Each structure stands twice: as structure tokens, then as C-alpha cells.
Amino acid sequence: MTNPQKTPLYEEHVKLNGRIVDFAGWSLPVQYVGVKEEHLNVRKNVGLFDVSHMGEIRFLGPKALESLEWMTTNSVSRLETGDAQYSLIPNEQGGLVDDIIIYCLQKNSDYLVCVNASNTEKDFQWFKSHNQGADIINQSSFWAQIAIQGPKASELCQRIFQANSIAPTCATMKPFTVKSAYFKEHPILIASTGYTGEKGVEIYIENSGASKLWQLLIESGQDLGVMPIGLGARDTLRVEMKYPLYGNEINDTMNPYAAGLGWVIKPDLKDFLGKNLLLEGKNKGLTQKLVGFKMIEKGIPRTGYSLFSFDNQEIGKVTSGTHSPSLDAPIGIGYVASRQSEIGTEIFVDIRGKKVKAVVCKTPFIER
């Protein structure tokens, strides 16, 4: 193994007593003061996340739209300049290469695709080998990324960007939009996207400006209760929303319709690579479905644990599970046989050899 890479914010994490771990080839903080406290602070105030490890791949030129349209499931043509969109890259086996966010920086000719850190190189190679004539550039080593999430995120952004006389203000941005701007002399993108279920933005900034922005956010947000947030809480926050994580809920074999992602697949609007296999899987009738569940008996579901029906048939596996800090109770996400997927169905989680009772519930797990 090569040494894990450091983001431009590494020194900031060390200063803030972050507990650094190796995550997907990156040295990142799993927590600072504690997962629970950080998690609750994002729900109540505002949190800062270093997500510089995420990959950024740029599509440029007259064939940018056509190429992206061919390799992704959602309708890229519908995006106007300044729109953002959640989408999927299907493979040729009926599963997914990755899940992504596409930012339309200039309709037809300029798109930035944000991809999962661990998939960056794989996605880049995939894009290049199925390219329809776009200029595709891996810009991952150029961009740092800071997510600002929580009910007080827009107030914090407002302060930063007013002080720096930047025109776009986060408070007035609609969800899933993006604006180009500058922070001091550094070009940035302000995107109203996130992975927590809270209001907020993700700021793409060139590496050299990242720590200045981070420090300013920490300083300016003191009275708003701003806190740096580690990977631990990033995961518990997304699990409470039942947002999929590539490698857990979705992967190269699982049909995205089974994961409940049909809303970003637009087979009626366009052709795309892998379309027939995705539809074949769906039309055969999905044997499994991704559900959320809560525990009735004591225990915490964890990734990989088996799920059983009331009559002791193995019906699937837990894909993610944790103790929800917001609910102060265990929650899980997993695939179950479709006939067991109705809300209210009692199921059992095999926790270290014991069958522990749970119930399929509505998601997100928390009220939004």
C-alpha cells in the first residue's frame, strides 16, 4: 500500500485534534470531539466537513453533453447553466460504476462531475473508454472541497461571502444549484448540495485557498456553534437520511431500481450505456428491495449482518447500520426480499448468532 494522501486541510485537522484515520487512501479525521456531539451539532447548528478526497472530473467541449448523456442515467439535457443533478453511472453488468453529482457550469459544453473518492480513477478510465468526443479531465488534484451543513449554514456563508464582497449568497440559492465565484483570489464553486439532509452548501475551492477558507469559517462561526465534523458523523448523518453509499447500498452488481433510485433513471427520455440491463432487471421483477428498519429488541445492526423473515428464511443483508444519534436508537438499512419490504413487516437481524427482532419503517428515519 502506498501512503495515504493528505488533503490541503490536513494540518487544520491535526490542530483541531482530529483523530486521523486512513480512509479510501486518504488521511482524514474520523472524529474531533465525538461522533454523537458532531452529528447533533450538524442537525442543530452547523458543521464543516473536509470532503477534498472526493473526485472531480470535468467534461468540456461541444460533445460534453452528448458524452455525459450516454454514460449517465438521469437527463443531463434538462440541466440549465447553474443546475446540479444526482445521477448514476451504469456498467455493462446491470449494476453501477458509481453514483455522482453533475454540475452544469455551461449548458452543452462544461460540466463538473463529483465522484466518490475511492472510485475516482475507475470512473475516469470508464468515462474515457466510453467517451463520445468530450474533453474529459481529471481535476481531482486541483479541487479541495468543504461542505458546510446545518440549519445555520446559510447564515455562516452569508457572513463569509458578504465580508469578501462575493455576489452570490448561499441563503438565496435553490437546492441543487451551483454558482461560480471567488474567495479572495481563488476561484470557487458554491453548490447547494450535501450528504446530511440539512440545508447547506459544498464549496469547491482550489487547493491553495482551502485552509484560509476553512479557518475563516471556523472563526466566523463561533457564535453560531460551528464545529468541524469527521467521517464518523458524516456516515451517521447520511444513514439517518437513507442516502446510499457506494460500496454499501449500491455497487457494481446491485440493480439501482432495487435500491430505490428509479427516480434518477430516465429510460423514456434517452438512450444510455447499460440501459437494457437495468430495465431487464427491473422488468423481471425485483427480488430484493432496499429498506430502512428499526430494532424492536436490543442490538445494533451492522454492515454485513444477515436478515431473516418471521419464518426464519434468510431474506437479505444489512448494508449500513448504526446507533442514530438523533433518535438515540439503533437504525439499519438493508436489502430484503421484496415481499418482506412493506413498512411494518417484522424481520430479524442476526447479531452474533442471535435473531433480534426489527421492523421495516419509513425513511428518512428522521422528520425533515
Partner 1 sequence: MAFHLPEDYYYTKEHEWAQVDENIVTVGITEFAQDQLGEIVYVELPEEGQKISQNQSFGVIESVKAVSDLFSPVSGTVIEVNTSLSDDPSVLNDDPINEGWLVRIEMDSEKELANLMRSPEYKKLINEK
Confirm or reject binding of residue 352 to partner 1 (CB under 8 A): yes
Residue range at the interface with partner 1 (CB under 8 A); choices 7-15, 28-36, 86-94, 101-109: 28-36
- Report, in Å, the least distance between residue 31 CB and partner 1: 6
Closer residue to partner 1 (CB): 232 or 281: 232
Q: Binding string to partner 1 for residues 29 to 68, with x set by CB under 8 A, is what?
A: -xx--xxx--x-----------------------------
C-alpha cell at 316: 437479505
- Report, in Å, the least distance between residue 159 CB and partner 1: 31
- Report, in Å, the least distance between residue 35 CB and partner 1: 4
Closer residue to partner 1 (CB): 257 or 305: 305
Closer residue to partner 1 (CB): 292 or 299: 299
C-alpha cell at 244: 446510499
d(CA 107, CA 76): 9
- Report, in Å, the least distance between residue 235 CB and partner 1: 8
- Report, in Å, the least distance between residue 40 CB and partner 1: 11
Number of residues that bind partner 1 (CB under 8 A): 18
Closer residue to partner 1 (CB): 32 or 111: 32
Residue 136 — φ and ψ, nearest 5°? -110, 120
Q: Is 75 exposed, middle or buried (0-12, 13-18, 19+ CB in 10 A)?
A: middle
Interacting positions 265-324 with partner 1 (CB under 8 A): 298-300, 302, 322-323
C-alpha cell at 87: 445521477
DSSP 98: E
Closer residue to partner 1 (CB): 212 or 298: 298
- Report, in Å, the least distance between residue 322 CB and partner 1: 6
Strand ranges, E, within 107-199: 110-115, 135-138, 143-149, 178-183, 186-191
Residues 6+ apart with CB under 8 A from 227: 32, 33, 37, 38, 41, 42, 45, 46, 47, 48
Interacting positions 321-350 with partner 1 (CB under 8 A): 322-323, 325, 330
- Report, in Å, the least distance between residue 230 CB and partner 1: 10
Q: Where are the alpha helices (DSSP H) in the chain?
A: 10-15, 35-44, 64-71, 120-129, 153-163, 210-220, 231-241, 275-283
Closer residue to partner 1 (CB): 32 or 257: 32
Interacting positions 158-217 with partner 1 (CB under 8 A): none
Residue whose entry in the numeric block shows the C-alpha cell 430502512: 292
- The sign of the torsion formed by the CA atoms of 298, 303, 305, 311 equals positive
CA angle, 99 as apex, 226 and 118 as ends, to 5°? 75
C-alpha cell at 327: 433518535
- Report, in Å, the least distance between residue 225 CB and partner 1: 19
Interacting positions 220-259 with partner 1 (CB under 8 A): 232, 235-236
Closer residue to partner 1 (CB): 94 or 232: 232
Closer residue to partner 1 (CB): 21 or 60: 21
Confirm or reject binding of residue 137 to partner 1 (CB under 8 A): no
List strands edge to edge, sheet with 186-191: 178-183, 186-191, 200-206, 143-149, 46-50, 226-229
Binding site for partner 1 (CB under 8 A): 30-31, 34-36, 39, 232, 235-236, 298-300, 302, 322-323, 325, 330, 352
